[in-house]
Amino acid sequence: MQGLLLKDCRKLALEYLKSVQFKLDIACLIPIELVLVCFLNYRPEYRLNRLIKTNRLFECRLKTETRNSHPFLFRIIYLVLLILVIIHWNGCIYFMISKQIGLGTDNWVFDGSIHSELSFEYASCFYWSILMLTTIGEVSEPENNYESFVMIINFLIAIVLIATLVGNIGSVISNMSIEQDNFKRKVDAIKSLMKLRKVSKELDKRVIKWFAYFHEHSKESDDSNTLKNLPVKLEIEIASHVHMEILKKVNIFSECEEGLLRELVTKLKTQIYSPGDFVCRKGDIGKEMYIIKKGSLNVVSDDEKIIYVTLKPGAFFGEIR
């Protein structure tokens, strides 16, 4: 209600009773087949009112997809299940039409005289439906206008189904590899720039080496741009979960208040250096304070032959300008 989380069961029930969904749910639960069976022979189509709650399925799909940690896998599974349901319905309709025309009266309809088992009847109709909707096999030619009309409808559904399936799976796969594609484009752009500017081979190798190392350790990349899409409170909570432990290891922050540390974590930016890279050199103007989160860093002499000290995770430098 108006963006507020409602937990009162009584108010929830009253809101539900006033909603359109309540009326749809009631219409769905009416046992029409039990009423009609008293006067007519039972037919499966008497239960069609159950389909009124189909919108609940799509609502469930949307909520599950947004709350699932593997949305791409869920979308593929959902598409496969949806296609199986459509094939199932189409097979059931084929059996109903065959029964109405007369089982085994011609080559197009289902011949129920071969086997009378329900499992065989269902499997045969399901197989026919797969052949029709996937167009991967041949079925018997229709022998009257009614059968021809059913075939035309099936072919039209097949065209839409295949187009939807290919489009959705293609979209899922492309979204799964979007980060990989973006990374490749960045690498190609850098390579083209270095070739155009005729940089030295040594520098070219260092840049390519850094990209390879960055790709291998992509989980450590900077998430600040992504977190900006969240409200400030959630951004602080996620940043605290990621960086608070390492920030507390820094001596100058060990006695700071929790509020100050939570504010500081949103200012941290991850930088990745490949083995052998220099973070800074003697004489560089210091503009940042560095905190080592993972790996180690050597402080070396100008000729790089003497290692004065090796800094481990939790160590910091660059705070004095």
pLDDT of amino acid 228: 62
Hey, which residues does 310 pair with through a beta bridge?
298
pLDDT at 248 over 70: yes
- Quick one: average pLDDT of 100-119? 80
> Considering only 4-8, 79-83, 104-108, 139-143, which range has the smallest mean pLDDT?
4-8
Q: What is the pTM of this model?
A: 0.56
Q: Which residue has the higher pLDDT, 143 or 113?
A: 143
- Quick one: average pLDDT of 185-199? 81
**pLDDT tens across 91-102, in order?**
988 988 888 888
**pLDDT tens across 257-298, in order?**
877 888 777 777 778 777 778 888 887 877 788 888 888 888
pLDDT of amino acid 1: 47
Average of per-residue pLDDT values in the chain = 79
